[in-house]
Structure 1
Amino acid sequence: MSSQTLYSIAAACCGFISAIFFAVGSAFTSQQKIVALSGTYWNFNPVFAAAAVSQSTQYAIGALLLFVAFLLQVVAALAPPTIPQAQCPVLANAWLFVLSILAVIGLPAWLSCVLLTKWRLKKVLEELSVTTQS
């Protein structure tokens, strides 16, 4: 597999995972979540805060991955097509390479999204509770 093909496949995989994060940010807003978000509370709506933080984090991870995909596409366009890559089993089989790249990009992105959402939600809820007590 040439270096151009390698980078192009990596960029496509990164762009695919980016699209998943953008889609999850909006597509999984269920009817129950919409009803809960539309409700009123005396102080603040913790369901709305959780949904907004989650969606914002998913969009941020998606945007970062979209940027990485763009950089990989630029590298693929500039890479000389005549330079072959080392023939390890992962690089020799395109489908195995695609699955490997999806796992290498997708798992850390998902873990980052989960951890960042928890961290940001804690900060938002703390700020909301201080604001409503004043």
Structure 2
Amino acid sequence: MPRTYAKSTETSFGFDTGIPPVVEIVARVARRLWPVKTARNLAMRTGKNHRSAEDWLALRTGMSADALAELLRSDVGWDVLDAIMEGSGASWWPKARRDLKAAQIERRIDALKEELRRELD
């Protein structure tokens, strides 16, 4: 029988386990990104079947590391990673987040410059 995941407030090996399970975070992000056909979009980006995606969204089962990795490699990887890392307290995350955002902005600037160059040619 699949296990339904629940938040725990107990510490485990000295770590705060009050952070929601990854599948709960992914479900929240997926519903925000795709309010319609959420399971279908999630399945497509993870390479898993529709039933698995429905189970994740209903919090009946956890995600495999492979499914999470595929989701992180997809077009919504940044949204998922940002949500997972929120509140983590990892000392390296604020700088990494800032650097990733800066790189995204630079890519958009480069794309706009290229578009402008094509218009002017």
Same fold (TM over 0.5): no
Over alpha carbons, which structure has the higher Rg? 1
Q: Flag the structure with more relative contact order, 1 or 2, with Cα contacts below 8 A and sequence separation at least 6.
A: 1
Structure with greater proportional helix content: 1
TM, length-normalised to structure 1: 0.29
TM, length-normalised to structure 2: 0.32
